[in-house]
């Protein structure tokens, strides 16, 4: 699930516990030595950020302070949970709230705002019955109280149906906008009115039971994604390819194909993944030790448990990078291993000088699924501090994967020959390389609690070498700062103000931009202590200084992901 969100502390001298040799590596990060170096005390109450709100279906004006550049012409589209109860029944988890879509329309230096709940079947059924009818990630729907005891007992043996509550992100296929989660359902949306148009079921087009909310797009419009398939033989990971728009086909996913399938290390306990990496010629799937117990999932309703109780962290398992040729669908027989890590979002990936570079936000632990229960987010005082201090942080790191591995490749020595790179890649056999990452930051990032929700200048830099990326700092359970990192110096610039909680930074390039960071950063900033204090923030992406803000006269809950829909 989201992302949402811990320091990658595998700076060890020993390559792996079973490895018969050691390799010199950089010193442990200070945070690896002093685990309390990022502890927080006296955290602000953020319960107002995860409370239900009403939709705003008609555009309302905002109050602009500073300047909104007149060259920005388009919609910032955002998605996330916006309703957390029906009747007297409440969802248990942040990820369970009903999808609320937001649109900030920017034109001529002015901004309007509107929002609508996604009219999913889950939303409509819950609303009609005024109770939780459809189970979500962390919430099991209660049996119908109108049924007798025997009927309620039998309902526990019914198969749990996947939710269509697409509350994670906006995605684009063949020029159309959709909202998606991680099940097999997504919805086509009118980006101007936010009206729900059409339900799309991936499984009716290809043999998958879901797809991520973070696809990648090639310049020609080809979209790549990943989804699982389940059968009596177990489960497999599938790389999906959706071709560009073809006037001969009207259906969204018509001509979609499974490019290749990858078998899990354990078919009954596959890995959870939220996204994947892509370069010009390869798709990179990261099989991490966040495991889904399929037997527990199948029997979860019988046991009275939600899906979140069927996912666990197995630190004894190594993380494996699977590299797939985008053009042929062939899976590279060489597997790239590293220590146990968790990752939700990749920053970028590219090929250079015979290496495949994968940059991502990662941690050597994972508790995000349990931490983001609503009861935790609504705690205050020392109880809230304890929740925050119980988890690790996510930090940006780089893996360097050598592509040319053959029988002549020397064993047990670092193959990474890139200048100024401390990452390592040691060939253990003809089909196994063990890798260690390098940091993409300096110690200053510790003060901001790590980084997540990474964004780049996507149209210009995706799958290519790049210099800058942007993200959110997590000095709280939700983002509380915006950060820009320069990969050449690993120095950061930050926007942070007490009591303000920004959303992920979305980069919008300026017209005829010459440099990579010519443009602005858009972020929706929430204010839990000020009623109706939400505003759209505009930063100069180069200097990271505030250009302007547009205050919205309503309250908005904390959300997940979004995109900019240019109308220029």
Instruction: Order the strands of the 185-189 sheet from edge to edge.
Output: 169-173, 176-180, 185-189, 196-201
How far is it, in rounded angstroms, from Cα 236 to Cα 460?
33
Is the model's pLDDT at 498 over the cut of 90? yes
> Residues 56-63: what's their mean pLDDT?
98
How far is it, in rounded angstroms, from Cα 454 to Cα 463?
15
Q: Cα dist. 401→222, 350, 433 in Å?
A: 25, 11, 8
CA end-to-end span of the chain: 33
3-class SS at 191?
Answer: coil
Of the candidates 556, 548, 554, the residue with the CA atom closest to the CA atom of residue 68 = 548
Mean residue pLDDT of the chain comes to: 89
How far is it, in rounded angstroms, from Cα 196 to Cα 119?
6
What pLDDT was estimated at residue 12? 28
Longest dimension (CA), the chain: 71
Of the candidates 538, 542, 539, 456, the residue with the CA atom closest to the CA atom of residue 104 = 538
Q: In what helix (H) or strand (E) does residue 408 lie, and over which residues does it extend?
A: none
Q: Cα dist. 178→118, 188, 191 in Å?
A: 11, 4, 9
How far is it, in rounded angstroms, from Cα 51 to Cα 305?
24
Is the model's pLDDT at 27 over the cut of 90? no
Q: Cα dist. 553→276, 532, 534, 550 in Å?
A: 37, 5, 7, 10
Tell me: the pLDDT tens digits for 104-134?
Answer: 999 999 999 999 999 999 999 999 999 999 9
Tell me: the pLDDT tens digits for 315-354?
Answer: 999 999 999 999 999 999 999 999 999 999 999 999 999 9
Q: Cα dist. 16→5, 111, 357, 463 in Å?
A: 26, 54, 21, 30
- Report whether 202 contacts 227 (CB < 8 A): yes
Tell me: the pLDDT tens digits for 386-440?
Answer: 999 998 899 999 999 999 999 899 999 999 999 999 999 999 999 999 999 999 9
Query: How many residues in total does the chain contain?
Result: 568
Q: Is the dihedral of CA 465, 466, 471, 474 positive or negative?
A: positive
Q: Is the dihedral of CA 339, 342, 348, 349 positive or negative?
A: positive
Is the model's pLDDT at 15 over the cut of 90? no
Looking at the chain, the whole-number percentage of residues with pLDDT higher than 90 is 78
> Residues 18-43: what's their mean pLDDT?
46
DSSP states along 496-511: --TT-EE---EEEEPT
The answer to whether the pTM exceeds 0.85 is yes
3-class SS at 31?
Answer: helix
What pLDDT was estimated at residue 467? 98
> Residues 226-254: what's their mean pLDDT?
82
What pLDDT was estimated at residue 289? 95
Q: Measured at the alpha carbon of residue 47, what is the angle toward residues 214 and 560, in degrees to the nearest 5?
A: 10
Tell me: the pLDDT tens digits for 283-311?
Answer: 999 999 999 998 888 888 777 888 888 99
- Write the CB contacts of 302 (distance below 8 Å, at least 6 apart in sequence): 156, 157
- Report whether 295 contacts 289 (CB < 8 A): no
What pLDDT was estimated at residue 150? 43
What pLDDT was estimated at residue 73? 97
Place 147 in a pLDDT band, splitting at 50, 70 and 90: low
How far is it, in rounded angstroms, from Cα 182 to Cα 188?
15
How far is it, in rounded angstroms, from Cα 113 to Cα 104?
5
Q: Which structure tokens are listed for 395?
A: 């930090």
Of the candidates 140, 223, 204, 212, the residue with the CA atom closest to the CA atom of residue 183 = 212
Q: How many CB atoms lie within 10 A of CB 561?
A: 25
Q: Is the dihedral of CA 360, 523, 393, 446 positive or negative?
A: positive
> Residues 52-66: what's their mean pLDDT?
98
- Write the CB contacts of 196 (distance below 8 Å, at least 6 apart in sequence): 116, 118, 119, 120, 187, 188, 189
What pLDDT was estimated at residue 26? 31
Strands 506-509 and 234-242: unpaired
């Amino acid at each position: 699930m989201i992302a949402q969100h811990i320091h990658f502390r595998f700076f060890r001298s020993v390559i792996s516990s079973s490895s018969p040799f050691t390799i010199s590596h950089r010193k442990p990060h200070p945070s690896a030595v002093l685990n309390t170096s990022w502890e927080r005390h006296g955290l602000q109450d953020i319960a107002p950020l995860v409370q239900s709100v009403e939709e705003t279906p008609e555009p309302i004006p905002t109050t602009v302070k500073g300047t909104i550049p007149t060259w920005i012409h388009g919609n910032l589209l955002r998605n996330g949970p916006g309703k957390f109860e029906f009747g007297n029944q409440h969802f248990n988890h942040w990820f369970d709230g009903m999808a609320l879509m937001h649109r900030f329309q920017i034109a001529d230096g002015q901004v309007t705002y509107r929002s609508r709940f996604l009219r999913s079947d889950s939303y409509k059924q819950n609303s009609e019955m005024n109770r939780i009818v459809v189970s979500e990630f962390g919430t099991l729907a209660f049996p119908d109280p109108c049924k007798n005891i025997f009927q309620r007992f039998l309902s526990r043996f019914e198969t749990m149906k996947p939710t269509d509550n697409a509350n994670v992100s906006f995605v684009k296929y063949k020029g159309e906008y959709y909202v998606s989660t991680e099940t097999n359902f997504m919805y086509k949306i009118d980006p101007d009115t936010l009206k729900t148009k059409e339900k799309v079921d991936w499984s009716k087009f290809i043999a998958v039971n879901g797809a991520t909310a973070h696809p990648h797009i090639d310049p020609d419009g080809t979209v790549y994604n990943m989804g699982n398939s389940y059968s009596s033989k177990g489960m497999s990971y599938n790389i999906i390819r959706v071709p560009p728009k073809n006037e001969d086909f009207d259906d969204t996913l018509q001509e979609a194909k499974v490019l290749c399938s990858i078998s899990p290390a354990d078919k009954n306990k596959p890995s959870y993944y939220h996204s994947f990496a892509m370069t010009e010629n390869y798709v990179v799937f990261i099989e991490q030790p966040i495991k889904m117990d399929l037997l527990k999932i199948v029997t979860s309703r019988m046991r009275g448990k939600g899906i979140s109780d069927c996912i666990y962290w197995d630190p004894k398992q190594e993380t494996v990078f699977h590299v797939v040729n985008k053009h042929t669908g062939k899976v590279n027989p060489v597997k790239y291993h590293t220590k146990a890590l968790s990752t939700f979002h990749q920053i970028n990936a590219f090929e250079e000088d015979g290496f495949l570079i994968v940059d991502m936000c990662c941690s050597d632990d994972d508790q995000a699924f349990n931490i983001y229960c609503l009861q935790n987010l609504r705690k205050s005082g020392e109880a809230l501090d304890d929740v925050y201090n119980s988890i690790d942080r996510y930090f940006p790191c780089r893996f360097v994967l050598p592509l040319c591995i053959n029988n002549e490749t020397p064993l047990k020595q670092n193959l990474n020959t890139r200048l100024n790179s401390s990452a390592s890649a040691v060939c253990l056999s003809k089909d196994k390389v063990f890798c260690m990452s390098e940091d993409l930051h300096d110690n200053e990032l510790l003060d901001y609690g790590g980084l997540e929700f990474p964004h780049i200048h996507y149209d210009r830099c995706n799958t290519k070498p790049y210099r800058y990326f942007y993200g959110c700092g997590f000095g709280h359970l939700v983002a509380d700062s915006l950060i820009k990192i320069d990969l050449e110096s690993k120095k950061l610039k930050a926007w942070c103000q007490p009591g303000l909680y920004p959303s992920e930074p979305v980069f919008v390039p300026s017209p005829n931009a010459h440099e990579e960071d010519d443009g602005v950063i858009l972020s929706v900033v929430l204010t839990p202590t000020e009623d109706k204090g939400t505003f759209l923030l505009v930063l100069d992406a180069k200097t990271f200084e505030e250009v302007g803000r547009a205050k919205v006269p309503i309250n908005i809950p904390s959300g997940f992901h979004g995109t900019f829909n240019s109308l220029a």
